Every structure is written in C-alpha cells, then in structure tokens.
Amino acid sequence: MPLVYTENMEQNYARSRRKPVKDPFLKKYFRYIFCLIIALIAYLSIYLLLKNVYPSQIQNVFFTNSYLPFFTLLFIANFFLLTFLSLNSRLGFLGAFLINFLFYLKINQIKFDLLSLSFVLLSTLFLAGLLFFDKFKKTLAF
C-alpha cells in the first residue's frame, strides 16, 4: 500500500529543536549593497547639479518654485541610503519623505513654531514605533 501525502501529515510532525541560524551581521548589508551604490550615484549627481546649474534654472521645472530635479534626486539618494542603513525600505521611505518635506519647507521659507515642529517629530516617532512593533510582533509569531 503506497503512502499518500496529505496536508494533515505536516501537522503530525514535531518542530525541530534546533535554533534557527541567523545571518551574520554584515551578510544582511551585502544583500542591500545595491542601495548604497544607487545612493552614492544619486549624491554624486546632486553634487554635480549644485556645482554646474544655477538654482534659478531648475526653480520652476513643471511647478512654480518647486526645484523638482533637486528634490527628486535628494529623495532617491536619501531613500536608498536610509534603506541601506536600516535594512528596511519602509523606514527608508518615511525618513526620505520627512527630510524632503523639511527641506521643501525651508527653501520656501515656511517657518515652524515649536508646537508644529514637535507635532511633526512626534508623528514621525509614532509611525516609526508602529513599524518597529509590527516587525517585533512578526518575530514573536510562531
């Protein structure tokens, strides 16, 4: 009589008692090395943009007073660098968005008082905490 595989058979086996093997610390970063390379290329292109182009030339691209080429390159560079540093693309996106947002407000001379700055900081910490605890909850799941 041949043995037939069913989905219920998996439930009958005991779990392995061996500890899962964790990747070495640097091996995680080697998986994200392309992010570092893209970030360095983007930062180099920002340097060349600032060195060779006057701000008035890129100030009104597509939208008035937007500096769109500069902010696009800055977002790409910050996103990939923060993704590499945190090994998490969500935190990289959140950090790059926050940095771009603050630079945009600074260039357009929008001033923050202490209350609004603390609100932005607390909301950013809250979102980062949600991401951290979401990741922490997934590691505790069986």
Q: What is the pLDDT along the chain (142 residues), one digit of tens a residue?
A: 555 555 555 555 556 677 777 777 778 888 889 999 999 999 999 999 999 999 888 888 888 888 889 999 999 999 999 999 988 888 899 889 988 988 888 888 887 777 877 887 888 888 778 877 776 666 665 5
Specify burial of residue 83 (Cβ count, 10 A radius: 0-12, 13-18, 19+): buried
> Could you give the C-alpha distances from 122 to 15, 59, 116, 126, 131, in angstroms and in order?
42, 31, 10, 6, 14
Nearest to 68 by CA among 83, 55, 80, 81: 55
- Domain extent listing, the chain: 24-110, 112-142
Alpha helices, DSSP H, located in 1-142: 8-12, 25-31, 33-52, 55-58, 68-86, 89-107, 114-140
pLDDT attached to residue 1: 52
pLDDT attached to residue 83: 93
Helix axes 89-107, 68-86, angle to 10 degrees: 150
pLDDT attached to residue 79: 96
Cα of 87 vs its chain's centroid, Å: 8
Return the residue matching tokens 């091996």.
Answer: 27
Q: Is the pTM of this model over 0.85?
A: no
